[in-house]
Amino acid sequence: MNILVTGASRGIGKEIALSLEGNILATSRNEGALRIYHNFCVCDLTRDLDKLGRYIQENKIDVLINNAGDYIYSPIEDVDYDKIERIVKTNLEAPLYLISKAVPYMKQNRWGRIINIGSISGVMGEACASIYSASKAGLIGATKALALELAEFGITVNTINPGWVETEMGNKSAEDSEFSKDEIIDCIPQKRFITPKEIAGMVKYLISDDAKGVTGQSINLCAGLSVGY
């Protein structure tokens, strides 16, 4: 089974890639960090999509995990066009393009798994992160539409929406916000950040045959954050 994981050099993507069984194909911008994998493609999702598209077609991907993402915390009046373009291209346009390149082989094989890593911010919204929230909400919408489109071919499409995650990016996001990490944790029903291992476990399940009936779903893995406070 050929499994492609974007953003596999650190955090959630690295945990997912290292936890799965199969032929792991890893991508990120950081070549040095990718050298732990046997097969990898160095690329920037804002510039190198054609390169990654060809890599996907050449390697006949069975499972595509769109994990790579970008985040910005800023009042809307301080967000310029370049930042909007970067976030939307990384979080929404790139996953859709990569799916378009992976699907022909999946259809031919009449089996495939597409898993998008979204965000609870795409479900609930996040003040001062409107561009990020919008891009992740778009990913959820695309997941539902693609699940309908691809169901007859044995291809499932789902999104996992993590809340606050104990990663370098998660901790930096907390630092960038107007609240301390302790204040953020106090607003989470389970009083903790999610771990990358939990997300990897959900990915494993969605790839398995036990989850063949799960498609078009937006799964909130957020320690209760989406339920309320």
pLDDT score recorded for residue 170: 76
Of residues 55, 132, 205, 229, which has the active-site annotation? 132
Who's near 50: CB < 8 A, 6+ residues apart? none
Instruction: Check if 97 is active-site.
Output: no
Query: Does a structural domain hold residue 122?
Result: yes
Query: Does a structural domain hold residue 178?
Result: no
Query: Does a structural domain hold residue 190?
Result: no
Length of the chain in residues, anyone?
229
Q: Are 165 and 13 in contact (CB under 8 A)?
A: no
Domain count, the chain: 1
Q: Which residue has the tokens 């996040």?
A: 126
Residue 93 has pLDDT above 80, yes or no: yes
Who's near 58: CB < 8 A, 6+ residues apart? none
Interval 187-201 mean pLDDT: 96
Question: Which residue in 96, 102, 23 sits closest to 64, CA to CA?
Answer: 102
Query: Does a structural domain hold residue 46?
Result: yes
At 59, the amino acid letter reads: N
Residue 155 bridge partners (DSSP):
112
Query: Does a structural domain hold residue 228?
Result: no
Confidence of residue 36 (pLDDT cuts 50, 70, 90): very high
Who's near 95: CB < 8 A, 6+ residues apart? 66, 116, 139, 142
At 111, the amino acid letter reads: W
Query: Does a structural domain hold residue 132?
Result: yes
Task: Look up the CATH number of the domain holding residue 35.
Answer: 3.40.50.720
pLDDT score recorded for residue 229: 64
pLDDT score recorded for residue 69: 96
Residue 135 sits in which domain range? Answer: 2-165+195-221
- Number of alpha carbons in the 13 Å side-chain half-sphere of residue 4: 29
State pLDDT tens for residues 137-189. 999 999 999 999 999 999 999 999 999 999 887 777 777 777 788 899 999 99
Query: Does a structural domain hold residue 110?
Result: yes
Query: Does a structural domain hold residue 208?
Result: yes
Q: Are 54 and 39 in contact (CB under 8 A)?
A: no
Residue 43 has pLDDT above 90, yes or no: yes
Task: Specify the pairing of strand 23-28 against strand 63-66.
Answer: unpaired
Written as one string, the DSSP assignment of 113-152 is EEEEE--THHHH--TT-HHHHHHHHHHHHHHHHHHHHHGG
Written as one string, the DSSP assignment of 82-110 is HHHHHHHIIIIIHHHHHHHHHHHHHHHHT
Burial class of residue 4 in the structure, from the number of CB atoms within 10 Å of its CB (0-12 exposed, 13-18 middle, 19+ buried):
buried
